[in-house]
């Protein structure tokens, strides 16, 4: 006579609660070997224990029930591919979590940014530039493409000589309204000819409060918050574009620890 297990015994053996086992039966994930037609009692077999162990581990890893069901119903090659894809998603989530943890620690251990803030007067500067009106959520992919295009255009034109590092203007409305104008530029000497999206531009003069940010931009908001606090407390903050100047960035080195960006807040200076 074949050995059978009550739902209680099966629960103790698999460390899955009776409630969970009933739910898995209802959704077709882990069905009992048989169900008593008179009492409705669920009866399991010892051969189902390994399957239950797999289900438990996949669920502990956050795999959705539909995906677990697909894994159980797949041949080994497809099964391994699905599990591998889920593990890669978990690794990506872990990296995001670690980044968030580091950002939180940076907030708790926040340095006195104001001690590194300087004032800078910037003259009007001829440049090769790409300008767009965009939504805030589309800003980063646009910026990445625009920087690459401006750099390639300037490098290909032998009549142009870079006179400064690449930079970006971020219009006030991008952050205040969620949509506004942004400009990626490279200061140049020489006549800029329109190529693709690149156009000649003059980056306007400005009075700026500046802090140099080192490293990747994951925690750049902390530097901006300190910069804005300083600017509004000591100056009259101006509703003009924020600026970034990339002294050393991803196109210079793959090591984010070496990146260096000047973050600039527009101000009115009575002594300028």
Which residues have CB under 8 Å from 147's CB, separation 6+? 166, 168, 184, 251
Question: What is the per-residue pLDDT for 114?
Answer: 46
Question: What is the per-residue pLDDT for 110?
Answer: 52
Distance of CA 188 to the CA centre of its chain: 32
Distance of CA 149 to the CA centre of its chain: 22
What are the tokens at 146?
A: 């625009």
Question: What is the per-residue pLDDT for 104?
Answer: 64
Question: What is the topology classification, in CATH, of domain 5-73?
Answer: Multidrug-efflux Transporter Regulator; Chain: A; Domain 2 (1.10.1660)
Question: What is the per-residue pLDDT for 109?
Answer: 59
Q: Distance between CA atoms of 91 and 88, rounded to whole angstroms?
A: 5
Do 44 and 32 meet the contact criterion of CB atoms below 8 Å apart?
yes
Comparing CA positions, the residue from 241, 134, 240, 244 lying closest to residue 185 is 244
Q: Rounded to a whole number, what is the distance in angstroms from the first to the last CA of the chain?
A: 96
What are the tokens at 45?
A: 């077999």
Question: What is the per-residue pLDDT for 106?
Answer: 60
Do 131 and 143 meet the contact criterion of CB atoms below 8 Å apart?
no
Question: What is the topology classification, in CATH, of domain 113-268?
Answer: Multidrug-efflux Transporter 1 Regulator Bmrr; Chain A (3.20.80)
Question: What is the per-residue pLDDT for 237?
Answer: 81
Domain ranges of the chain: 5-73, 113-268
Do 232 and 221 meet the contact criterion of CB atoms below 8 Å apart?
no
User: What digits encode the pLDDT tens for the residues 219-251?
Assistant: 787 788 788 888 777 767 888 999 999 999 999
Low-confidence residues of the chain: pLDDT under 50: 1, 113-114
- CA distances (Å), origin 2, targets 33, 43, 51, 230: 11, 12, 18, 78
């Amino acid at each position: 006579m074949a050995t059978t297990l009550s739902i209680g015994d099966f629960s103790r053996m698999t460390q899955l609660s009776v409630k969970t086992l009933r739910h898995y039966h209802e959704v077709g994930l882990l069905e009992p070997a048989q169900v008593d037609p008179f009492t409705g009692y669920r009866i399991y077999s010892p051969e189902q224990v390994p399957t239950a162990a797999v289900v438990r581990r996949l669920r502990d890893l956050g795999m959705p029930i539909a995906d677990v069901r697909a894994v159980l119903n797949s041949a080994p090659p497809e099964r391994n591919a699905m599990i591998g894809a889920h593990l890669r998603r978990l690794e990506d989530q872990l990296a995001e979590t670690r980044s968030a943890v580091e950002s939180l620690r940076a907030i708790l251990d926040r340095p006195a940014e104001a001690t590194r803030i300087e004032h800078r007067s910037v003259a009007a500067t001829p440049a090769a530039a790409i300008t767009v009106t965009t939504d805030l959520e589309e800003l980063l992919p646009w910026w990445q493409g625009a920087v690459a295009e401006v750099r390639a255009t300037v490098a290909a034109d032998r009549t142009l000589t870079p006179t400064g590092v690449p930079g970006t203007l971020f219009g006030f409305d991008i952050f205040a309204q969620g949509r506004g104008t942004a400009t990626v530029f490279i200061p140049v000497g020489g006549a800029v000819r329109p190529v693709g999206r690149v156009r000649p531009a003059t980056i306007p003069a400005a009075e700026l409060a500046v802090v140099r940010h080192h490293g990747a931009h994951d925690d750049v908001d902390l530097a901006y918050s300190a910069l804005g606090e300083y600017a509004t407390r000591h100056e009259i903050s101006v509703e003009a574009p924020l600026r970034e100047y990339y002294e050393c960035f991803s196109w210079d080195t793959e090591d984010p620890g070496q990146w260096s960006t000047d973050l600039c807040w527009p101000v009115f200076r009575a002594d300028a």
